[in-house]
Amino acid sequence: MKCAQRVMTLILFVALFCFSGASKARASSESPGDVFRNFSDVLIYMVPSVAFGMTLNEKDNTGTWQFAESAVVTMGICTGLKYTVKERRPDGNKQSFPSGHVAIVVQSAEFMRKRYGWAYGLPAYAVATYVGFSRAETGAHYTRDILAGALIAFVSTDLITTKYEGWNVQPVMSSAYMGINLSRNW
Q: Is 47 within the bounds of a domain?
A: yes
The range of the structural domain enclosing residue 122 comes to: 14-164
Distances (CA, A) of 153 to 59, 103, 132, 166: 24, 5, 13, 25
Q: Is 173 within the bounds of a domain?
A: no
Q: What is the DSSP string of 64-118?
A: HHHHHHHHHHHHHHHHHHHHHH-PPPTTS-S--SS-HHHHHHHHHHHHHHHHH-H
Q: What is the pLDDT along the chain (186 residues), one digit of tens a residue?
A: 455 556 556 555 655 555 554 444 444 455 555 665 677 778 888 899 999 988 988 888 999 999 999 999 999 999 999 899 888 888 888 888 999 999 999 999 999 999 999 988 999 999 999 999 988 888 888 899 999 999 999 999 999 999 988 755 455 555 555 555 444 444
Q: Is 106 within the bounds of a domain?
A: yes
pTM: 0.73
Looking at the structure of the chain, the number of domains it has is: 1
